[in-house]
Amino acid sequence: MTTDTRSQILRGAIDASPFLLIMVPFSMLFGVVATEAGFSIAQTLSMSVVVIAGAAQFTAIQLMVDDAPTIIVLLTALAVNLRMAMYSAALVPHVGTAPRWQRAFAAYFLVDQVYGMVAARYEAHPEHTITQKMAYYFGVAIFICPWWYLFTYIGAVAGGAIPPDYGLDFAVAIAFIAMIAPQLKSLAHVAAAFVSVVLALGLAWVPLNLGLIIAAFAAMLTGALVETWRVGRT
Amino acid sequence: MISDVTIWIVIICLGIGTYLIRYSFLGLIRAERMSPFVQQVLRFTPVAVLPGLVAPMVAWPPATGGNPDPVRLAAAAVALAVGIWTRSFMWAGVSGMAVLIALLQIGAGG
SS3 at position A12: helix
| Whether residue B103 sits in one domain with residue B61 | yes
pLDDT top residue among B89 and A136 = A136
The beta-carbon neighbor of B34 closest among A81, A93, A104 is A93
CA distance A1 to chain B (A): 24
pLDDT at res. A165: 56
B-proximal residues of A, 51-90, CB under 8 Å: 51-53, 56-57, 60, 64-65, 70, 73-74, 77-78, 81-90
| Whether residue B59 sits in one domain with residue B20 | no
Instruction: Give CA–CA dist A62/A38, Å, rounded.
Output: 12
Query: For an interface test with A, which of B3, B13, B18, B37 has the most A Cβ atoms less than 10 Å from its Cβ?
Result: B18
The beta-carbon neighbor of B58 closest among A97, A173, A219 is A173
Report CB contact under 8 Å: A88, B14: no
| Whether residue B62 sits in one domain with residue B19 | no
- pLDDT tens digits for range A116-158: 999 999 999 999 999 999 999 999 999 899 999 999 999 999 8
CA distance A38 to chain B (A): 7
Q: Is the pLDDT of residue A233 over 80?
A: no
pLDDT tier at A190 (50, 70, 90 boundaries)?
A: very high
| Whether residue B91 sits in one domain with residue B55 | yes
Q: Which residue type is seen at B33?
A: R
Model ipTM value? 0.89
Domain that holds residue B102: 46-110
Element (H, E) at A203: none
| Whether residue B57 sits in one domain with residue B30 | no
A91 touches chain B (CB under 8 A): yes
Burial class (CB in 10 A: 0-12, 13-18, 19+), A102: middle
Q: Is the pLDDT of residue B89 over 90?
A: no
| Whether residue B51 sits in one domain with residue B38 | no
- The residue of chain A nearest to residue B108, with distances taken between CA atoms, is A166
pTM: 0.86
Q: b or e along A111-142 (b: 16 or more beta carbons within 10 Å of the residue's beta carbon)?
A: bbbbbbbbbbbbeeeeebeeebbbbbbbbbbe
